[in-house]
A and B are shown apart, each in its own frame.
Chain A
Amino acid sequence: MRDSSRAFGDNDSGSNGTISTDSDSINTRPIRFRGGGFKPTSNRWAGFIVFALLIALAEWGTRTGWISPLTLPKPSDVVQTFVELFESGLLFKHVVPSLTRLLMGSLIGVSIGIVVGVAIGLFSHVRSGLVPLVAAIFPIPKIALLPLFVIWFGIDEGSKYALIAFGTFTPTVVATYGAVDNVDRTLIRMGQSFGLSWFSIVRKIVLPGALPGILSGLRISLAIAIILLVAAEMLGAEYGIGAYILEAGSLYDLERLFAGVVILSLLGVCVSFVIGVLERRMLAWRV
């Protein structure tokens, strides 16, 4: 007993020494870390830096003549055009009708889309009746239908609202009924087991549960809405960002063309920002 305990103590101090020498030997090395990556984090400055670098490159290229002015306008000239557009008040003359069309059209399309999507998610009859129809109209390029809409809804705002509404409707429907399908069934079972009314289950369990999916569908729908907005305005509008770009393009006025494109990009960024805020506000409960 005594012996063994002493031997143990000896061994202990001895092995301590060995460990420290071992760590220098070739057979001892730290375990290689292999758990990194696949975990993108967002850095809001990186985006700005990429933009700034590209613009600086374009500016430098056009100034030195390395990029010919026929292929790309000087970014500073585009800014100049933009300032003129703002000062002449023309900016608002173009942006306000565009925003109105975007808002009205997508409001109609998205709200009908959510109602139809929820109905498809809840009722078997609606599902069997409408899913094939939605699948059939989803891939139609809606722009191709613009002449039809002009006949149906008139050359004015009506046809533009209809085009945007139609274009946002299908992706919203698909996203919504997918989201309703994905609502946790055990939560619905729970609602039933507590005797909640059908209406309460839909309003308090199904709709909030489907909200994340509906909002991410909204991102796609609104991007499509901006594309369709420009297309509709190119085909017949006096004022509007699309009309402005079309006019600049037909005159090969690259500065104005790019000013118009910049407005569209800004619009896209704003929409994405607003949805981001909505998500943070309404989905704070997510893990």
Chain B
Amino acid sequence: MDIRLENISHSYDSVEVMRDLSLTIRSGEIVCIVGPSGCGKSTLLRFIGGLEQPASGRVLQIGVPPEDSLNPLTYVFQDFALLPWRTVEGNISLVLEDHKLSKQRVSEIIDDVLHRTKLADFAKALPKQLSGGMKQRVAIARAMAVNPAVMLMDEPLSALDSQTRELLIDDLVSLWVREPFTAVYVTHNLSEAVRLGHRIVVLSRRPGQIRDIVEIDVPLAERAAGQSAIEAQQNKLWELLRDEARAADSELIDA
């Protein structure tokens, strides 16, 4: 299942946040979206997930999601959004309970996603007992439990320290290598973008427009931090973004 954005424009009151944005997300690829803060990345993701409607333009789904996909468009949030009163497995079962699955099927799915995210030993733990990296792993496990056609990730690693972030990038890469998934991955961190993105969409400052789309041909599994080809791509992205970021930064002060 592909997603196509056609001529999306949007304003909040008098503030124009997005202008004539078109983009196609192909099945099986990770599209990273980078841009200065406030340029409308989160808003774009809400449009794709159907949590909000653009003032003009359309978001289209091309093809049908897999038969066994319980929630085709699934979010992973920056602040994890785990229910603190439910255990790890309780948080995952939350999103399965409305789907009339057999008890056995539910526990199979939970076991499977906990294994894939290396959380099998923490099924009974409460969120307050987990570190930030663990919490985000739970949120990723929860997203995978509904077998999404497209994962919508809004700065999923931004609340974590840089070491934990490295570990989770590796985890995401190995998850993708084992079983490719489609994802729109919003980040302001360019090194995350070059490690995880098949394509990187660079947005301009507000109103958000596509400045450039950078394709990275190196397979995900072969990329590593500090690799020269990857470094070069990151520098290129920074060249594209620097002026936008500076302008956006001083804009905020005016506002």
Contacts and interface: CB of A to CB of B under 8 A. Distances in A.
B134 to A, nearest CB: 15
A32 interface: no
A200 interface: yes
Interface stretch (A34-42, A173-181, A186-194): A186-194
A196 B81 CA distance: 14
Interface residues of A, number: 20
A199 to B, nearest CB: 9
Contact of B71 (A187, A194, A200, A286): A194
A136 B84 CA distance: 36
B1 interface: no
A193 B49 contact: yes
A285 B126 contact: yes
A197 interface: yes
Q: How large is the interface on B (under 10, 10 to 19, 20 to 34, 35 or more residues)?
A: 20 to 34
Interface string B50-90: 01000000000000000000110111010101011110000
Given A186-B79, A204-B94, A193 B51 contact: yes
A197 B94 CA distance: 11
B98 A190 contact: no
B81 A186 contact: yes
Nearest to B51: A193
Contacts of A285: 84-86, 126-128
Interface in B96-132: 97-98, 126-128
Chain A contact residues, majority secondary structure: helix
A208 B71 contact: no
A195 interface: yes
B72 to A, nearest CB: 9
Contacts of B128: 285-287
B83 A194 contact: no
A195 B77 contact: no
Contact of A194 (B79, B86, B126, B146): B146
B85 A200 contact: no
Contacts of B51: 189, 192-193
Given A195-B71, A285-B128, A205 B98 contact: no
Interface in A194-240: 194-197, 200, 204-205, 208-209
Interface string A5-37: 000000000000000000000000000000000
Nearest to A196: B98
Interface of A: 186-187, 189-197, 200, 204-205, 208-209, 284-287
6 contacts: A189-B77, A190-B77, A190-B81, A196-B98, A204-B83, A204-B94
Q: What 3 pairs between A and B have smallest CB-CB spacing?
A: A190-B81, A285-B85, A194-B95
Interface of B: 49, 51, 70-71, 73-75, 77, 79, 81, 83-86, 94-95, 97-98, 126-128, 146
